[in-house]
Structure 1
Amino acid sequence: MTLPAKLVISVIIPVHNGGASFRYCLSSLANAMPAPAEIIVVADGDTDGSWLVAKEFGAKVLRIPTSGGPAKARNLGARAAIGDILFFIDADVTITPDAIGKVEKAFSDEPELAALIGSYDDAPGASNFLSQYKNLFHHYTHQTAKEEAFTFWGACGAIRREIFLGLGGFDESYRRPSIEDIELGYRLKNAGYKIRLCKDLQVKHLKYWGIVSLLKAEIFYRALPWTELIWRDRQLSNDLNLGLNSRLSVILTYGLVISLLAAWWSPGFLAVAFVLGFLLFVLNLQVYRFFHHKRGFWFALRVIPWHWLYYLYGGLAFVIGTARYIFSVRFA
């Protein structure tokens, strides 16, 4: 009996001025057992010598003189890869020593599997509140989602090389870190391919989030383009951030805000606001229990206003993104 050939894994990392986090990323790959067949680093117009750090760790380095975005960088790395499986990770994450083995096993056990994604772990690298909140919320969202995924994820996602290249790779029109990975996932699903969320494949995110950087990324690089993508592909499935609870929470949050504003003229609306706030809290109680379990009562209490703000700007971005999509279609 002939045993099936062992799958070859190529790790691909786009980097633009990766700093200390990038060194931690490469250090974690150096400790991987088994090791990947190759590590390809695409230096996307970096000016801090990240490509030299990659050379120091023995990675194959490709350089782009002017930054073109992670989609372009990942595509360049994919075309140069030798592996059967392309394992994309971000330059600001670290992997566990067994991550490569988990990826290889998943594809070996499921020949029909086209792609898989992992999640952030529950111990983010940056210690400030917003970084902990943002990354823990991401962890919670993925860990409570269905294993049949509808999107891809570039921070920790693997795909069969022949399928990736056959679909044309990432859409390079996304010039910043945006939703190029989600867009690829939608094309995978529309082509009939299987994507699996592997909840035990987790990476540590080292990124520091501040108020401005968080809101800018969430609204302009994620929510707005994602809305337009949803309408383009008519992809309204209950996946990750698009579940029924999230939709109802957006409605309740706006009802709460309108009620509070109306209370300036008619105090009776305070009772309406209280009821809507209570319903919003109960609807998301599982989320707040998660944060309470992970970080304690006071942390969970601080999460609530940020979580409700998330529904506010998410709902607003959906309306604006919808208007932009309609305008672009009508006047194309």
Structure 2
Amino acid sequence: MADNVGAGIARNRGIESSHGSILFFLDSDVALAPQAVENAVGVLEANPTYGAAWGIYGDRPLVDDGVVEQVQVLFGHYRQIQPSPVHTGHFAVGAVRRWVVEAIGAFDERLFGQWTNEDHEFGLRIAENFPVTRALGVVGYHDDDDKMWPVVRKRFGRAVSLMPLILKQRDLKPEREALHRPPEIAAILLAAAGAPLPILSPYLAVVPAVFLAWFVWENLPLLSFVRRNAGWRVAAATMVLSYVYGLAVGLGGVSGAVRYLIDPRFRRRYRSAVAVS
């Protein structure tokens, strides 16, 4: 098999080579907590209609390389443990029934390259057809990014690529499960757009200040969680990095929406894949 064929194709080869009735997915930079696989199997056995049980990232890095990584891990962990409907798949750590893949197909191998979101597409396709759940007892510890700019590039690129799924999957509303939620993104973009206004008049500084306050308000529960788990220093870094990352996501979303309007091939990017044996 060719090298560097992409995550979706590699996962499909793993599916083809496996024999069990439950497929457990794990990324190379994630280490499982004890009983994670057992817990995933237990959830699916207790709920025969569920098509998948998605795990969560742990609340500490697999390898702690500093405050940027601490923010990444705590941010992701906090979002995943919130009680809310689950639709998007989490193939870094999660389990899927084999008959689900046989029924709806596997990863779309036409989605090849960086930030193609083949995992989001497949996860949403599963949720369209079968109930799925978040399993808090299925935990993996992630060796996440430890530098800011790679995260910025990744968030921007994925946001661009996700727009066809977000605009087409209105019944599942995948944006509600994103790391940065729509109200937060709106506050960030409006604050950035209003930043030049004080040049016209000092009184207009109130405009970006109001939107920044909205951004802080939206993130208060997250910041409280981070402060309790990692202290004020990491909480302050979370505020700054959350704004920077959210701005990248917002600009990526705007870019993706414009591309969706003008590029028919981009609108048709996500199509159903064929089943694997």
Q: TM-score, normalised by structure 1?
A: 0.74
Asked if 1:84 is matched to 2:14, the reply is no
Q: Does 1:224 align with 2:160?
A: yes
* C-alpha separation in 2, matches of 1:94 and 1:278: 38
Cα displacement (A) at 1:88: 0.5
In structure 1, stretches of 5+ residues that fail to align are 1-63
Pairing 1:1-332 to 2, within 5 Å after superposition: 64-124=1-61, 125-146=63-84, 148-176=85-113, 178=115, 179-191=117-129, 193-220=130-157, 222-234=158-170, 235-236=172-173, 239-241=176-178, 246-329=181-264
Q: Which secondary structure does the structure 1 equivalent of 2:48 belong to? A: coil
Taking only the aligned residue pairs, the percentage that are identical comes to: 25
Segments ≥4 residues shifted beyond 6 Å: none
Query: Which moves more between the two structures, 169-178 or 290-299?
Result: 169-178
For 1:330 and 1:196, the matched residues in 2 are separated by 32
The change in CA–CA distance for 1:299 and 1:242 in structure 2 (over 3 A counts) is closer
Question: What CA deviation, in whole Å up to 9, does each residue of 1:164-215 have, x standing for no partner?
Answer: 1332201122324642121112111222x01101122110002343223212
Partner of 2:272: none
Q: Contact 1:145/1:239 (CA < 8 Å) preserved in 2?
A: no
Closer, same or farther: CA 212–253 of 1 in aligned 2, 3 Å: closer
Q: What is the match of residue 33 of structure 1?
A: none
Instruction: Determine if contact 2:52/2:95 at 8 Å carries over to the other structure.
Output: yes
Distance 1:233 1:242, change over 3 A: farther
Look up the match of 1:47.
none
Q: Give the letter aligned to residue 27 of structure 2.
A: D
- Select between 127-136 and 272-281 the one with higher mean Cα deviation: 272-281
Q: Alpha carbons of 1:169 and 1:330: their partners in 2 closer, same or farther (altered >3 Å)?
A: closer
Gaps of 5+ in 2: 269-277
Q: Return the offset for 1:223.
A: 1.2
Q: Distance in 2 between matches of 1:330 and 1:131?
A: 36
Aligned length: 264
SS of 2:23 mapped into structure 1: strand
Shift of 1:265: 1.9
Residues in 2 aligned to 1:103 and 1:162: alpha-carbon distance in whole angstroms:
16
Q: Which has the higher strand share?
A: 1
Q: Aligned in 2, Cα 1:224/1:76: closer, same or farther, shift over 3 Å?
A: same
Aligned residue for 2:221, secondary structure, equals helix
Q: Which stretch of structure 1 is more off in the superposition, 75-84 or 279-288?
A: 279-288
SS of aligned partner of 1:94: strand
Whichever of the two has the greater Rg, that structure is: 1
- Cα deviation for residue 89 of structure 1 reads 0.4
Distance 1:65 1:212, change over 3 A: same
> Which amino acid is 1:194 matched to?
P
Alpha carbons 1:122, 1:135 under 8 Å: kept: yes
- Aligned-pair distance for 1:328? 2.4
Secondary structure of the corresponding residue to residue 239 of structure 1:
helix
The more displaced of 157-166 and 73-82 is 157-166
TM-score by length of 2: 0.88
User: d(CA) in 1 for partners of 2:263 and 2:214?
Assistant: 37
Deviation at 1:290, TM superposition (A): 1.0
Q: Which has the higher helix share?
A: 2
Output the CA distance in 2 between the equivalents of 1:177 and 1:201. 27
8 Å contact 2:166–2:175 — kept in the other structure? no
Distance in 2 between residues matched to 1:279 and 1:215, nearest whole Å: 22
Q: Which residue identity lines up with residue 144 of structure 2 in the other structure?
A: K
Distance 1:122 1:269 in 2: 41
Task: Say which SS state the counterpart of residue 264 (structure 1) adopts.
Answer: helix
Contact 1:145 1:240 in 2 (8 A): no
CA separation of 1:116 and 1:322: change in aligned 2, threshold 3 A: same
